[in-house]
Every structure is written in structure tokens, then in C-alpha cells.
Amino acid sequence: MPTEAARERRRRTLLTYHRPSLWVLLGSLVVLQFGYPAATYGPGLMVLYLCVYAGVIWYGMRIAAADPRRHWPIAVAAVFLIGGGAWFAIQQDSPSATAGMLLGMMLLQGTLLVTLCGSLLNPPERAQTVDLLLVAVCAYLLLGGFFGAAAAEMELASPGSFADTAHAEVSPLPWHDLIYGSYVTLSTLGYGDIVPVSDWARSLWTLEAVTGTLFLAVVIARLVGVAGSAARDRRKDLA
């Protein structure tokens, strides 16, 4: 018979797979990672774009509150993003404010990515196939966002690390251009319009391309191994 401690650990793990929370996280990430052009249409839309991070922050804080001893970095990262986002909303032309926002984005997306990948590689028995798929998709989107923010931080610190071949006169490149470049690199499409120029920029996007390939090979293979079992999908609801 499971002990109270075992039941509590299982409850905390299943919080990661709470389906409505995962849908909120996925919806927020889709808007943030693919709706960023709206942020270029003025300060008002930029603020609205940042407000969408509330969904990501809510999910992160929910996981952190369930197990503070293991997931306290998520809470710290969420606080950084709230502070950096508020600073940037007030001073959108400030490089320091932009760097603060990007740092918060990196920290929160990175800590959530580690948590989701860990739970995906060792999922609870009661997690259903659809939950595993949602976790995997969210993790993949977080991966592209994390590297996009990292590239934008590098460009701010060292302008000219990346170049836009269609607009060679633009330096430093805007952060939203590097989110686009990040997903092009992650998916190994290689359009060649935004390219890494410095050695460290090339190293970063090489790492991203390799990481994206390994994600598909390892994590998706793990998904195939644990998903689809009758024991999982026979259950309709999670406790």
C-alpha cells in the first residue's frame, strides 16, 4: 500500500501532466514563439505580447509550488521574467531593459525545459499518451525560445555576432529576428538569411542544431517506447 509520502510524490509528478495546464502552456508558447511579429507594431502590442507570458509563468509557478525543494529555480526565473518584462514595457528602447527581459525569458524557458524533459524521460504510469505528446511539443517550443533568447543576448552584448543578409545595415539585430533564426536553426532548415558571424554565435547555433536533432531522436524515441500502452490510455482522467 503506498505511503503518504509516495502519494504526495505521485501527486506532484502528475501536476506536470495536468492536461488543462498543459493546454494553457502550449497555447501561450504558440502565441509567444510564432506571434512575435505583432510586437513590432507599437508599444501597446508589445505590452500585450509580454502579457501572454502570464500563461507560461502561471504553469511554472504551479509546478514550483507543488514541489518547492526541487523546482525553486522555476519560481526564481519567473520573478526575473516579471521584473525584466515590466522594465522593458516601461523602457522599450533601452538595451539594458531588453537584456533584462531576455534574461528572464532564458531562465524561465530553460528551467521549464529541464523539468519537462525530466518528466518526459521518466513519466508516471498514469500519464496518458496525449499528455506525453503535449509535454514533448511544449519542450520543443521551449527549446527554440531558449536558444532564440540566448542568441539575442549575445547580439546585444556583441553587436554583429549575427547578420541579416537581406538587411546588412541593421546592427544589432532585433531580438525577434533571432527568435526566427533560432527556429530555422533548430529545425535545420538553413534558409541562410540570418546567419551567425562570430565564432561564439556559430558555436551557439551549432549546439542548437545538434540539440534539436538529438531531441527528436532521443525524446521522441522515448515517447514511442512509453506511449500508447493500454494501461495508460484506459484511464480517462488524472487524479
Confidence of residue 106 (pLDDT cuts 50, 70, 90): very high
Amino acid at 53: Y
Indicate the SS3 state at residue 196. strand
Q: What is the pLDDT of residues 126-176, one digit of tens each?
A: 777 788 889 999 999 999 999 999 999 999 999 999 998 877 777 788 998
Confidence of residue 238 (pLDDT cuts 50, 70, 90): very low
Query: What are the beta bridge partners of residue 162?
Result: 196
Confidence of residue 192 (pLDDT cuts 50, 70, 90): confident
Handedness of CA 93, 95, 96, 101 (dihedral sign): positive
Angstrom distance (rounded) from CA 59 to CA 27? 12
Indicate the SS3 state at residue 123. coil
Residues near 15 by beta carbon (within 8 Å), at least 6 away in sequence: 21, 62, 63, 66
Q: Which three cell numbers stand for residue 221?
A: 524515441
What pLDDT does 5 receive?
Answer: 54
Residue 227 reports pLDDT greater than 70: no
* Domains observed in the chain: 4-233 (1.10.287.70)
Contact 106, 153 (CB under 8 A): yes
Confidence of residue 230 (pLDDT cuts 50, 70, 90): very low
Average pLDDT, the chain: 85
pTM as predicted = 0.87
Q: What is the pLDDT of residues 31-56, one digit of tens each?
A: 999 998 888 888 889 999 999 999 99
Angstrom distance (rounded) from CA 198 to CA 31? 30
